[in-house]
Amino acid sequence: MATRVDMILRFTEQGLRRQAIDLLKEELAENPEESQLHWLMAVNLLGEKRLAAAEHEVKLALKHDPESDDAHRTLGYVLVARRKVDEALLAFEESVRLSPRSSPNHQGLGYCHHMMKNLGQAEACYHTARELDPGRSGPCYWLARLAVERRDLATAEAAVDQALGLEPENADHLVLLGMIRYFQGRLHEARELCLEGLRVEAANEGGLTLLTWLKAKENPLLAPWWFFSARVGRLDQTRRIGVMVGAYISVRLVSRILHDLGHETAAAALVLVWLLFCVYTWFAPVLFERMLKRELSGVELADRF
């Protein structure tokens, strides 16, 4: 069992989640009460965005080992992803209580405060995590993320440089430096860093986001669609539908009011703008996707893929 668990850990660290999940299924069939296996399954399911299954697995891990700080920390990440931040905060605080000298636990608590917009508390937790283990790049990365949000680009660059010094081929670190270059207006460097991050991890969410920013910058015609899509895409499905239905009702209501007030030309113009917007959002994604595919065709995967 030890050899296979080592292989699962290696797959998990390398981001090879599906291979890890396949091995974990086999191990759990033989050892269904092993807390570490349920915890590792939860970590990989979380990476695959299978949040309900991840929550189920991490709770099984805690059932078999209630004192596992790793499981409490992972439960916190799952709950944040499910937008249950108040419950997540309790889970992260429990992980810190169980292992107060753990750098990952303080980083997790900082992440939760970060998501709750408690930026001062988040920063303090990240600093604690870095002091507890200066060899970990994660706290440096999150301090850089925090500085980017504050548009303190000099501090962000120093922190991400430190993170890259510890993990020079980490896709998230490369992409974050690319984002800093983007905000600095150094678009060529941003593109190179973005593509280098995607070479390391082809499905890196931040890298794909940065690449779309860059393509939108190159093509002003498609930029409005991207920024609108990015804003709406942050909402859950119910809210997205609500936004679109609300926009349609608003257009119809305003056009009716304008018509009743005798402004027929303005009412017709409003309806025409709405129709053009609908047509634009129909074709823009197709064109944008073609541009991205053309850009990504030159990305070479790292050896481990």
In the chain, which stretches have pLDDT less than 70?
A: 1-2, 219-237, 280-281, 283-305
Task: Flag whether 211 is in a domain.
Answer: no
Return the pLDDT at 46: 94
Task: Flag whether 263 is in a domain.
Answer: no
Task: Flag whether 58 is in a domain.
Answer: yes
Which segments of the chain does DSSP mark as H helices, in order?
2-14, 17-30, 35-47, 51-64, 69-81, 85-98, 103-115, 119-132, 138-149, 153-166, 171-183, 187-200, 205-218, 223-233, 237-260, 264-296
Helices 69-81 and 85-98: crossing angle in degrees, nearest 10, is 160
Calculate ∠ Cα 136-142-147, nearest 5°.
Answer: 135
Domain count, the chain: 1
Task: Flag whether 150 is in a domain.
Answer: no
Task: Flag whether 23 is in a domain.
Answer: yes
Tally Cβ neighbours within 10 Å of residue 46: 21
Tally Cβ neighbours within 10 Å of residue 227: 13
Task: Flag whether 68 is in a domain.
Answer: yes
Return the pLDDT at 222: 63
Task: Flag whether 76 is in a domain.
Answer: yes
For residue 203, the SS3 value is coil
Q: Looking at the whole model, is its pTM more than 0.85?
A: no
Q: What is the CATH number of the domain that holds 39?
A: 1.25.40.10
Residue ranges making up the domain that contains 60: 1-84
Task: Flag whether 164 is in a domain.
Answer: no
